[in-house]
Amino acid sequence: MVRRYLAPDAVLPLTCTRSGTCCHGKDISLTPAELARLARANGMSASAFRAAHTSAGGTRLRMSGPPGWRGLAACSQYDAQRGCRVHPARPLACRLYPLGRERSGERERFFHEGERFPCLDGCPEVTSLPRLSVADYLRGQEIADLCQVRDSYLEIAQDLAEGAFVLVFDSGLAESGSGDWRQRWQAVATGGPEAWIAALGSEWHDLITVPDIGSVSEDAWVPAHARLLQSQAQERLASLTEQSQLAAASATLLAGAVLLLHGVGADSAAVARAWLVKAGEVRG
């Protein structure tokens, strides 16, 4: 679909109608930090919230409510009478809608999908409400902290992927002639959430998506998660020597990276395939 990139001073019909149409049938990505916030807002543990209200291994908010607009299922956090039940804890994807965010290096751009402004389809009455500049709309949605969270998880995903490469290429596994690691990487790169969870195993799946961080401030949560993953990787994987163990561990780290990418809304499949190609080039 065509993306229309927007200048900060672009003025659009961005005042919400509060009709709830955008709370039905949407693809809402979740980082582990956003999952934890939603769990707290519901008075649940993160693991219980993941099981009850998410899909794709904890990286998507489940659309499991009653059908509403155009027969589409409502978000699991939506109430037809009250609207969003967890509005202060809503994830970045909800705050941005109908806009999207793209980050490349230091460059940040905002856009909407399609030639036609998305809200005109479900909420034509939006044209009678005050128009807002993109900058004013984003400021009102208080997105800065959650944008930083997503950017931080991109870095964590890259660190995990680099760890996978180290396990394969610095251990001698790549030169051993064993194809086990490549088969495992292929399964991760070409599979979906089920394949990623299988490669992770339950303990690493929990470490990635519902980590036991303890009582820390929201600002400290993601750095604490990064430190936990680093320490667990060092403790569990650094001493491995058997080829089969190294192959499995490398796939675990790769799957963790791909799952985190999926959670930030990146094209995880494309990145995973690129990593697989890079591994082939390094091997060659």
Express each pLDDT in 109-165 by its tens digit. Answer: 999 999 899 998 889 999 999 999 999 999 999 999 999 999 999 999 999 999 999
Rounded CA-CA distance 34/89 in Å is 8
Q: How far is residue 202 from each of residues 4, 57, 207, 247, measured CA to CA in Å?
A: 40, 11, 9, 18
Pair 128, 65: CB distance under 8 Å:
no
**pLDDT class of 223 with cuts at 50, 70, 90:** very high
Q: What is the pLDDT of residue 179?
A: 85
Q: What is the pLDDT of residue 195?
A: 97
Tell me the β-bridge partners of 133.
11
DSSP string, 90-157: --HHHHHTT-EEEEETTEEEEEEESSS-THHHH-GGGGGSPPEEHHHHHHHHT-HHHHHHHHHHHHHH
Sequence-ordered list of residues with C-beta below 8 angstroms from that of 10, at least 6 positions apart, any chain: 133, 134
Structure tokens at 81: 């009478």
**Rounded to the nearest 5°, which phi and psi values hold at 275?**
-65, -40
Pair 78, 85: CB distance under 8 Å:
yes
Taking every pair of C-alpha atoms in the chain, what is the biggest distance, in angstroms?
A: 67
Rounded CA-CA distance 157/37 in Å is 20
Burial class of residue 167, CB neighbours in 10 A (0-12, 13-18, 19+): buried
Q: CA 257, 39, 112: angle at the middle one, nearest 5? A: 60
Pair 3, 113: CB distance under 8 Å:
yes
**Rounded to the nearest 5°, which phi and psi values hold at 30?**
-135, 130
Q: What is the pLDDT of residue 175?
A: 87
Q: For the chain, what is the radius of gyration of the CA atoms?
A: 20
Q: Write out pLDDT tens, residues 246-257.
A: 999 999 999 999
Tell me the β-bridge partners of 61.
54
Q: What is the pLDDT of residue 238?
A: 85
Please state the rounded mean pLDDT for residues 236-251.
93
The fraction of the chain above a pLDDT of 90, given in percent, is 86
Is the pLDDT score of 204 beyond 80? yes
Letter string b/e over residues 52-65, b meaning 16 or more CB atoms within 10 A of that residue's CB: ebbebbbbbbbbeb
